[in-house]
Structure 1
């Protein structure tokens, strides 16, 4: 996700409007705690283990804590984590340490489950970022043909799940691919000229691995297939289903207002309902979202979420909470099952990524520049109308 948006942040502006009078949460009773089965309030904490290496500290209610604990106490019931196949390039950035490989992801899942949270395992099927503009086949699979890639996807997916199950860390959800608008494992799995067949065969290989694993597992992971932005959902969903991809549980959508073509917040509910109907009444979740709480900077890394807010919303801590609460209510109104916040703990530090040092996400986190939990995290414990 982040690679696509850093490179293309100036190319995809969405224009949308939303009235401040929208019906949102029912505040008659404060601070309910939802189970993930009732509604998934997720947080993607894929960067946190690395951030801690660079000395990042977090606080909640004046007490120093870690991001997992702070967000679990704030109402998060799911941790989402990305898995890269073999990200050896991390070693040159992090003093020989590698993150987002299976060992690091295992640590993340363990920390999440120790706090009673469910897990959404986001398998990128790449050594690096997979998103609408980049779906690079892992180096180890570069010479494979389509049939061999299908076997590789199946065996790798099954092996990952068996590794986690052996440590009692089976995830409750598995994403087969990340933001797969244009397919996965390019060039063989790339969607071009409306041709989804190769991509569908790779998706089905991953799906089959999860289902076969589930036959002997107490936890039977729900399968998520993931598209970026609601406006792309119908074309993508029709494409994969017509190509024979039907055995999945959840349609996952990235929703960032900056790249959305939706005209109002009410459109979120309409698009959720539409995707449920098109998919044959499968669950629909927003598996990535974020909203800025400030226009400020804490470092020299240009921010991705820019100063342009969605019409009807400002940029402040209060407006961030109002946006997230309203978005969640609209997802619920449309029949959706979850909202997951992308990298809410990615505040600035000495951590370097592929492009710069610091954080381009610091103004769109759920912690302030000093690592203090923002009031907007309370959107996960609003009393919503189901």
Structure 2
């Protein structure tokens, strides 16, 4: 299976490094930097970050998913998102995923496409073979029996390997996440922050990632990312611990998903707009912005919303995004906002918080990401 996976991912990369798409001559082409003086296509890709995590994109395309503009014309997804206001792309990377998606090779394929469209780029290391989130911080299989010292070397080697591959292609990486939604630590149980030793290990792990990033991309900004951006207590607890134990970071990253999430087995079809604490999205936005301002002041750091989302068919979706973007732009020290997998539609992998409708057309909520 590994040989098949390697050949398949190599084919995807080869397709994305050519001037045409993999399907046929009628599909959009990807501009090559050697053939144009302006890979941005004339769009302003500077300033406040208006980003999209599109890590599922190659898998969606391989499954036959297509994307359309508001007039019904089939479009290449990243090119369409740029037209709709996005100026940055975020991509997650897993160590050795079973099916090859979000592997180093898959990340390179997507990063190359983003680079050739003039996008700014964030790489999101999960340090896992699969999803890393607050409750699930599984070690990669190859690292399972490693000591803490070995894990630190694993983090460093993996980070440098992926980033070196990108740099060798001339792709600039502006931001790097070391860990994903690490509000309880990472690489459980060694880096779980429920003990003093675990907190110390977590800080060492973050620092190992930080130092590795700086070795390859000295100018890249390193992000430590937590979920629940409205929870000030959570952020102070983790970043106090990192400070006390010598952890390094440049930017505090956040996630924000309003509403009460149903169990994973019902595909988010019973989403409740009021969260389990009785708060509306308006209150969560307000709390999150206040948390940003307090963190900037306390830790003398920048902040960024690395993931944000709400159900695509919620009648206040555009109002939610617009409210948050408007407020975030006024926070001195907030660098920008990334929507998470906005290109998802028709319940892709059970995810209902994209920004396209069930036919693959962009929704009005994307208006919030226009300059």
Q: TM-score, normalised by structure 1?
A: 0.75
Indicate conservation of the 8 Å contact 1:256/1:290, yes or no: yes
Equivalent position of 1:285 in the other structure: 304
Deviation (angstroms), 1:34: 5.5
Q: 2:48 aligns with which of 34, 39, 56?
A: 39
Aligned length: 305
Kept in 2, the 8 Å contact 1:268–1:334? The answer is no
CA-CA distance at 1:348 after TM superposition? 3.0
Question: Which ranges of structure 1 fall in alignment gaps of 5 or more residues?
Answer: 1-32, 91-97, 295-314, 350-357
Q: CA deviation at 1:275?
A: 1.3
Q: Once the two structures are superposed, what CA deviation does each residue of 1:310-354 show, in whole Å capped at 9, x if it has no partner?
A: xxxxx22xx2111101011222233311111011112237xxxxx
Contact 1:225–1:252 under 8 Å retained in 2: yes
1:57 aligns with 2:46: no
> Structure 1: how far apart are the matches of 2:363 and 2:340?
15
Q: In structure 2, which of residues 74, 78, 82 is the aligned counterpart of residue 72 of structure 1?
A: 82
- Output aligned runs, 1:168-317, within 5 Å: 168-193=170-195, 195-215=198-218, 220-230=219-229, 231=231, 232-246=234-248, 248-258=249-259, 263-280=283-300, 282-294=301-313, 315-316=314-315
Contact residue 268 and residue 327 of structure 1 kept, 8 A: no
How big is the shift at 1:258? 2.1
Partner of 1:265: helix, strand, or coil? helix
1:136 CA drift (Å): 0.7
How far residue 377 of structure 1 moved from its aligned partner, in angstroms, is 0.9
**1:22-79 residue CA offsets vs partner (Å, 9 max, x unmatched):** xxxxxxxxxxx6644x211110101110111111111113221022111111111111
Long gaps (5+) in structure 2: 1-42, 261-274
SS of structure 2 residue aligned to 1:171: coil
For the 8 Å contact 1:268–1:330, the answer to whether it is kept is: no
Residue by residue over 1:282-336, the C-alpha shift from the partner in whole angstroms, topping out at 9 and shown as x without a partner, is 2111100111232xxxxxxxxxxxxxxxxxxxx22xx211110101122223331
Distance 1:322 1:60 in 2: 21
More helix by share: 2
Hey, what does 2:123 align to over in structure 1?
A: 121
* Cross-structure match for 1:86: 96
SS at match of 1:174: strand
Q: Normalization by structure 2: what TM-score?
A: 0.78
Could you list the runs of 4 or more consecutive aligned residues of structure 1 that deviate by over 6 angstroms after TM superposition? Answer: none
Query: Which range moves more in the overlay, 120-129 or 367-376?
Result: 367-376
The match for 2:106 among 91, 104, 107 is 104
The answer to whether the 8 Å contact 2:312/2:363 transfers is no
Q: What is residue 368 of structure 1 aligned with on the other side?
A: 357
* Relative contact order higher in (CA < 8 Å, ≥ 6 apart): 1
Q: Considering only aligned residues, what root-mean-square deviation do their CA atoms show, in Å?
A: 1.9
CA distance in 1, matches of 2:227, 2:163: 25
* Residue 164 of structure 1, CA deviation: 1.0
Q: CA deviation at 1:264?
A: 4.9
